[in-house]
Structure formats: structure tokens, C-alpha cells
Structure 1
Amino acid sequence: MLRCAGLVIFSQISWAQDAPAALPYSPDAIPLSQYQSGDAASSAVPDPFAISTVPQGKEYFLAIYSGSTSGVYYYVASAICDTLSMTYHQHHIRCVALRSQGVGSNRDLMTQGRAQMIIVQSDTNYYASNGEKPIPGARSVMSLHNEMGVLVVSKNSDIHGVADLRGKRVNLGPEGSASRNQALELLTAYGLKPADLGRADAVTQDANAQGLCSGYIDAFPVWIGHPAQVVDDVARFCGARLVGMNGDGMENLLHQHQYYSHQTLPANLYPGQDQPIESYGFKASLVAYEPVKPYIVYWLTRSLMEHLDVLRAKTPNLSMLNAREMFEVGNFLPFHEGAARYWREIGWLQDGGPKGPPDIDESADQ
């Protein structure tokens, strides 16, 4: 699966003592010795200082948990770090991309107080906001790229929509997996059951390309950030076609689930795909942990938005980012105070709260 995960933010000096009592806070991805940089080797806590007067040698650290190094989120995390590094002189935040085991493990990391920021899908954000699958202390920052669903079908098949899967051999993904649950929901929306298929396989998603190109399956559904290597490979090497999931079933899903959004795949993104494709999917969603200082989250948000063209160019998966959608779509949790300050500063969030850069420090560093 190309579903990856999260951001983790760190800063200098001591961290365990600063967390709100109700929220655990013990990040563990970077050794404690690395929290102390420059002239921060002393145990003394620096006086509060404003963004415009960052003392020489003081640094903060941002580590991005992101899932498999072959996954989309890993490249997104790396792109975020690269973009943030462009404005280092303004904030003194250093950033690195790290691996994780995916969205589920990143939820667990934040719940345990070990992750300061995570990248998840918008449904995770939604279920956290309504308490169905809570993540204590989770706050929205922004949404990122689309994770649009498509059917990838064999070259000579007569599949032109979801309803055409009846009687076909389809890999729905392993039993109990998120990919299979997603596929079953799609079938149900179009009045289909696994028994209506010619064969409903339960094979890992890693086998999709081999299964389709060898003629063992006729199709597989996938929700992913585009362009995706697995889709490009089967389109290039065995002439696979892409089919959208649009139709009445899709409209019902959009009506039932707020975390889905209508999405369009531009023409010519993949070999042989000469027309736009209409479908639906998630937004990748950036979520911060409440104990993280507003200073760090503010500068992350500001640096990405002020250098959006750079961020888009870092990886193809981010090439279609839309600034307004990054604020308006998929952010179901309340905004983290650092992100909220930036959104207020540019006039998009009008809730009467404080605007502009927060001070670096109000007490000890986290």
C-alpha cells in the first residue's frame, strides 16, 4: 500500500516537563541528546524571544514519520522538509523524513504522545473529530494532495464503470484491510456484492500489477496519490486502462461521508490516458499534536504556503495542490493554534483569535 504517515515535531532543551497534564508527551524518534544543539548544551532554559530575534545557535527539530520509503507519504514528507529548509534563517527549524508503519501506527503514536504531527487521510481526521475513533490532542494543520480512487482494468476488458465489474475477476485486497473495506463500500454503493464478481480475490495490493499484467485478474480498485508508480507501471507495460468511479453510487457516497470529495484526474497523467477522469477520494491531512508549540506549527504552515510553487515541484504527487483547498477541505478537527494564527493572518480564518507569528517561547521548550 502506498498509504503513509506522519509528521513529528521536536525542539531543543527539555520536552517531557512541558506537556499539558491531560496529554502524554514523550517523543522518541530523535535521541534526547539531539534536542540540545548549538549552545543549548547547558541545562539552562533560554529567556523568551521573538521570531525576529532567533539567537545564533538555537535550533528546533522536525521529524516526519511517513510509512514505507516506497510510499507517497515518504516523498511528501521529504518535500515538506526540503521546502521548510528554504526559510531556515527565519525560524531555525531543521527537518528530516522518517519511516513509519502507516496511518494506523501514526494514530497510535499520537495517542501515546510520541508523535507531534502526522499525515493521515481525511477520514481519520473526521473520525477523530466526531469521537468515533478519537486521537486525544489532535488538531488540524492543513490538507495536502488528493488520494483519488480509480479502477485499473486490463487493456481488452469491457469495464467502463463500477457496474461493469459484475462477473469480472477483481482483487479487493486482504481480508480486514483498509483497501478491502474501501472496495466493499464501493461495490455496495453500486448494488454489488463480492458474490456478483467472477472472482473476488483477497491478495495483497503489492501483487496487483503482476496479477493484472499476467491476466490473472481483470481489475483492481485503488485510492492513492497520483501519479502513482504502480498505476504508471501497469499502464506502461501492459496497456492497462484507468476508469473513474463516478456515477450515482459515487454521489451517494459523497452525500453519506463528509470526508470524501469529488476529484478529477487531469488528462495525460498516465500513458494512454488522454481524457480527464472523474472520481472521488480522500485528502491527505496534516494533523498536529496540541502540546507542540504554536511557533513551530505556524512556521511550518507559513513556509509551505508561501513557497507553494516550490512544494508542488518537489514531487509529482503534490503538483496539483490548491491553496484554498488546503485550508477548506478535509480539516475536520479544530486548527492547531500555530496553524490558526497563519490562517487568520491571511484572512481565511476569522474566529477572533490572535494573528501573526507567536513568540518562540512562553516557558520551557518542547
Structure 2
Amino acid sequence: MKHIVIFLITFSLWGCGSESEDRFITIGTGGVTGIYYPAGAAICRMVNRHRTEHGLRCSVEATGGSIYNIRAVRNGDLDIGVTQSDWQYHAYQGAKLFEKEGRFEKLRAVFSLHSEPFTVIARKDSGVKTFADLKGKRVNIGNPGSGSRATVEALLAYLGWGQQDFAIAAELKAAEQSQALCDNKLDAIIYVVGHPSGAIKEATTSCESVVVEVAGPVVDKLVAETPYYSTAIIPGGMYNGSPEDVKTFGMRAVFVTSADVKDDVIYQITKAVVGDLDNFKRLHIAFQMLKVDEMASAGLVAPLHPGAEKYFREVLASDAEKSNKGL
């Protein structure tokens, strides 16, 4: 696989040289048109701002995404990677596509990034206002093997529904579903995706459609019993037809590394981002709703890396002290 590398030609931290020399770190992301790539670039930008203080030089690499990044971190080809919270879980457990290689016991979480909400878009004329209203409707449940399809099936199982509960249960790919919705071949589409999303923008500008709430006791139970899910909000005003915040659930983009990466390296990276969160949030619209406490916990299944844990303890203790003083 050819990789696109920006900022610097890098080499791995594994077996790095003198502490007085610059230390080079590589972040694996995803395709250049997705959110993971600019997310990694934003993290590197924050780290490189303070390189004279900590001696770290950060570069970002375009890759095949979550699964590739986890395997590359495990093999030592990457220092850090961005992955979806469910694949983090499966890698740590040695399940699904990671069953053959076994548990990645040294997998460590650094922090949680933006949410990737379970997003339901319905035609305005369909009358769909909540997920329960989808019963008897024409719905795209996602192509088999996709992350969206897996999440649909998980929610249906908790609801006690099956595909037969829909008038049509289409299996279109993500790139095909917006057009089908606007051609009135479907009443609703479902997509697990970070926001803003070009596909969702297409669906909400090409025809009258709305973002549908996915919330309630069943969703609460699903989130509570599934470690890689968390509650999520799709901000109001992000898409035509949906001026108010919409409650849902979903996965998180998670920043992961290996226990073999040095504590001070992960500490400095965490500090560069979390310690200057207001500036970090300005680098991409997907970061606007990030909160420190959620970054330390939401969607994190693998143990926190000691370097990240140290910084979060410091910053959360400081915030608690300020709160107690009424600051």
C-alpha cells in the first residue's frame, strides 16, 4: 500500500536514539477525503507547535483506516493510529477480523476523539420522527459487512425487530443511498459516520429530509451493555431541515498506541491536544463538541496508556480544584 506522508519523512519511536535528539512519531489515519486524515493532521499540528519544548516531531500518514492502523501499531510500523471504537474493542479481545492473530494485549488508548453517530435520515414526507416510526417503512440497512449494517443489526436485536419489520430492507452501499432516498425509492437511510458528512449533506440538500432521533430506554440499554458504544449528539443547524440538536448513539474515533511507546511521548502528545483543547477544536468542525472528561473515557475499551492517564489525572484534578474554589 502506498502511503501519503506529510510534514516529515519519519521513522518509528521503537528503539529511538538519544533523548536530546528530536524524536519522530507517525500517526496512521485513513483516506485523505475522510475525517481521520485531517484529525491526525490536526493532532500533529498541535504537537509540532511545541516541538522545541519536548523534542517530538509528528507526521501523519494516509492509510487504509482502522484495521490497518491497529495492525501497524501492533507490528511497530506506526506509533499511533486512529481507529473506530468497535475495532479497538475487537483487537483488544482478539475477535472478529483479529481472531487469527489473537488478543492485542499491549493495545493502549490515548484519548477519544469525535463521535461517529448512528445517523438516520428520513424523507420529510415519510412521517418518520423517531426510530420506532421506521417499522413498515422502506429503509436502507446498509450493505452486509459494513459498520453501519453491524450497528443496525445490534439495535434491531435489542428492539426485538427483524428485517421483516420493514416494508423494504435495502442493502445499498453508503455512496448509493442518498440518491435512492431523494428518488423516493426509500423512506429512510442509515449511516454510521462522523459529522459533517458529505453524504448526509447530499441527502438533506437534494430533497426535503430530516435527521431522526434515535434515543430511549432500549438505546440506553444497548449503550450500557456495549463498551464501544456511547451516546452522541448531531448538532442542530449542521444539515438542512434539522435546526435542533438530535440525540442518538454511536461509536467514537479513538486514538490508540502500544504499551511499548514511551510514557513521556504519549504524555506530551496528550498534553499538546487536551491542554490546548480550545485551539484544537478550531481545527475541524468535527471537534467542536469535544470535552476533556469524555476524551478520557468515551468509547475507550483498551486501558489508557500510562502517559495519557498521567496527564488526564493532572488536568481533571486541576479542574476539580478550580470547581471547588468556585473559579
Q: Which has the larger radius of gyration?
A: 1
Question: Counterparts in 2 of 1:78-227, with a 5 A limit?
Answer: 78-130=41-93, 132=95, 134-227=103-196
Give yes or no for contact 2:147–2:192 (8 Å, CA) kept in 1. Answer: no
- Seen in structure 2, the aligned counterparts of structure 1 residues 200 and 15 have a Cα distance that, compared at 3 Å, is same
SS, match of residue 104 in structure 1: helix
- Seen in structure 2, the aligned counterparts of structure 1 residues 252 and 347 have a Cα distance that, compared at 3 Å, is closer
Give yes or no for contact 2:83–2:253 (8 Å, CA) kept in 1. Answer: yes
- Seen in structure 2, the aligned counterparts of structure 1 residues 230 and 241 have a Cα distance that, compared at 3 Å, is same
Q: Which residue of 2 aligns with 1:318?
A: 287
Q: Which residue of 1 aligns with 2:324?
A: none
**1:145-196 deviations in whole A, cap 9, x for unaligned?**
1122121112311111222222222222222222211112222322321122
- Seen in structure 2, the aligned counterparts of structure 1 residues 277 and 344 have a Cα distance that, compared at 3 Å, is closer
- Seen in structure 2, the aligned counterparts of structure 1 residues 83 and 118 have a Cα distance that, compared at 3 Å, is same
Q: Which residue of 2 aligns with 1:66?
A: 29
AA aligned to 1:331 is: L
Structure 2: any 5+ residue segments left out of the alignment?
1-7, 319-327
**1:84-117 deviations in whole A, cap 9, x for unaligned?**
2221221232222222112122232233332321
Q: Which residue of 2 aligns with 1:308?
A: 277
Pick from 187, 199, 204: which aligns with 1:230? 199
Structure with the larger helix share: 2
**1:4-58 deviations in whole A, cap 9, x for unaligned?**
xxxxx9976x866x4xxxxxxxxxxxxxxxx9xxxxxxxxx53xx5xxxx4xxx3
SS, match of residue 176 in structure 2: helix
Provide TM-score, normalisation by structure 1.
0.76
**1:292-312 deviations in whole A, cap 9, x for unaligned?**
222321111110012111110
Give yes or no for contact 1:149–1:244 (8 Å, CA) kept in 2. Answer: no
Give yes or no for contact 1:11–1:60 (8 Å, CA) kept in 2. Answer: no
Give the percent of matched residue pairs that are identical in Structure 1 and Structure 2: 29
Pick from 278, 281, 286: which aligns with 2:255? 286
SS, match of residue 62 in structure 1: strand
Q: Which residue of 1 aligns with 2:210?
A: 241
What is the root-mean-square deviation of aligned Cα atoms in Å? 2.5
SS, match of residue 116 in structure 2: strand
- Seen in structure 2, the aligned counterparts of structure 1 residues 342 and 210 have a Cα distance that, compared at 3 Å, is same
The aligned length equals 305
Give the deviation of 1:345 after TM superposition.
3.5
Pick from 239, 259, 264: which aligns with 1:295? 264
- Seen in structure 2, the aligned counterparts of structure 1 residues 335 and 11 have a Cα distance that, compared at 3 Å, is farther
SS, match of residue 215 in structure 1: coil
Give the deviation of 1:72 after TM superposition.
1.4
Q: Which residue of 1 aligns with 2:297?
A: 328
Write the distance in 2 (CA, Å) between the matches of 1:166 and 1:81: 45
Write the distance in 1 (CA, Å) between the matches of 2:58 and 2:258: 17
AA aligned to 1:102 is: G
